[in-house]
Structure 1
């Protein structure tokens, strides 16, 4: 390979990695931009004040918490943890959703939590999707 091709490959790889890191490390920014989870919906967990929706695409799992009453600014949280990894969480006062949060789970078990106002959801243990 010539040095120009190597340089273009290195720059392309750096941009791809940076975009992936920003998408996982700053879930609040992704939510503000209006994006949502990609892939197919694999589970829906309803609770008294909202719903946690879980999506899967390849080895990645994404989750969002949706309120039963959208449009009202209220506390919301979504947390997604793959076995043996740190949880990824988005929490704050939102109108429409908390998240999306994404982890590379592969075939690992997951622990999922969500909240809207005083209502909460917790898988209360590790689950497989």
Structure 2
């Protein structure tokens, strides 16, 4: 009775370990594929700025945003914020090498706005998807 459950837990743990190990082995990518994989859906807005770009995606009633550095490399301050109209902002910021985010908000029939920055330079969208 307990043996089957422990095998399932062990299998789940192995799957998580392998997935995590795969991410470590693959290492940093080009930026665009990583951002698309992080958010999923279709890209609806790209706002370039001097040190990177802000990307907004939409899928199944949700909006997602990432800020991607133009030149991945050294850790530097990056941030991304996404807000649905009538809701509070959701942010990710810190010292990153490639991207900040993804951040996701529920956006069925709601406008959203996003902003992002890399090393002090940034951009925002204003209200979109209205």
**Aligned residue number for residue 92 of structure 2:** 90
Residue deviations 1:27-53 (CA, integer Å, cap 9, x gap): xxxxxxx76111111111111111011
**Aligned residue number for residue 53 of structure 1:** 55
Residues 1:127 and 2:117 are matched in the alignment: no
Query: Can you give the 5+ residue segments of structure 1 that lack an aligned partner in the other structure?
Result: 1-33
TM-score, structure 2 normalization: 0.68
Aligned residue for 1:36, secondary structure, equals helix
Residue deviations 1:29-86 (CA, integer Å, cap 9, x gap): xxxxx76111111111111111011111111011100011102210000000000000
Equivalences for residues 19-58 of structure 1 within 5 A: 36-58=38-60
1:108 to partner: Cα distance: 0.9
Query: Can you give the 5+ residue segments of structure 2 that lack an aligned partner in the other structure?
Result: 1-33
Equivalences, count: 95
TM-score, structure 1 normalization: 0.69
RMSD: 1.5
Structure number with bigger Rg:
2
**Aligned residue number for residue 116 of structure 1:** 118
Aligned residue for 2:45, secondary structure, equals strand
